[in-house]
Amino acid sequence: MMMTVMSAQAHQPALLNWSEASPAPAFSILNSQFSIHDSLIMQLMPEIPSTLTEPHQRAQYLASHFWDKINLKDIDFLEKDDLLERMFVDYAEVLSLLSGEDCTKSIEHLLALSEATPAFLPIINLSEKYLYMPDSHVADEEKFIPFMQYALKSKVLEDVEKIRPQFLLENAMKNRLGTVAGDFTYTLPNDETGSLHGITTDYTLLFFKDPECEDCAALTKRLIFSILINENISQGKLKIIAVYTGEDLEVWKHHSSDVLNSWIYARDAGQRINAERLYDVKHYPTLYLLAGDKKVLLKDTTIEKIEDYLKNIYGRSKS
């Protein structure tokens, strides 16, 4: 059965308790172990030494040795029952436990192992599917970037095979976490204009939406009825700007009543966002949370993560 992003979500490992008194299963990491419902993958996993008891040590060891028992030259074996894909999903789960240099080292180790094998290009493609695409439960552009950087430096890929990695890397590097979001001029239904960087609240929720997108309409309602988000808006701490990047002016104006008056309902009249690829809008809706200085705090995120962020900053809603 071909594995899709949705099936990968069902496959994601759960966490159980582990102690030194019991044998140390391969996936014992965060005072717990991954419970993988895949006996073959479990057989292929390294055994983490019982002397490693700290969660970070265990995660680091597993990431470093994840592929030790895998013959990446045997593509027939790896493609059978989508084994390589299933393993990559679990590997991405392990990467989620790492950050910074440890994560990059593990990725580069995998790519160095696979570069001269038939598995190299499939692994590059899997990184796009599971780390770049936002509908994947393990999506993480910061972990996706090293895959594309390595692909572009690789001597085994032809120039034509590097076109997409180059395109994807450029997109992923746009508006990275901690960088200042690209500025643009927006136009209101009354033809007044303003700029993203001209918004002066502590936080800005940048909401790319299409007036006729059902998912956008559903998210709009969730934002409207979010007590926490509306408390922050009423207190002057947060501003929502809903931006339409298309060209159907009449449809956009018709849906202006869909949002609250406290929002900025805007469009990109000059079409700069699309023409200059200022933002990597993979789908609608797309959310960014920006700081007062317009540095990116959350990219291509969810309402749940935005609410969690605001709770951590301002405290939980009393309602």
pLDDT in tens, 91-103: 999 999 998 899 9
Among 154, 158, 210, 206, smallest CA distance to 180 is for 206
CB 305 within 8 A of CB 298: yes
Separation of alpha carbons 235 and 11, rounded Å: 42
What residues have CB less than 8 Å from 295, skipping those under 6 apart? 178, 179, 180, 181
Q: What is the pLDDT of residue 316?
A: 55
CB 25 within 8 A of CB 33: yes
What residues have CB less than 8 Å from 37, skipping those under 6 apart? 11
More confident residue, 14 or 209: 209
The gap from C-alpha 311 to its chain's centroid, in whole angstroms, comes to 21
pLDDT in tens, 145-165: 999 999 999 999 999 999 999
> Residue range 36-45: average pLDDT?
74
pLDDT at 17 over 90: no
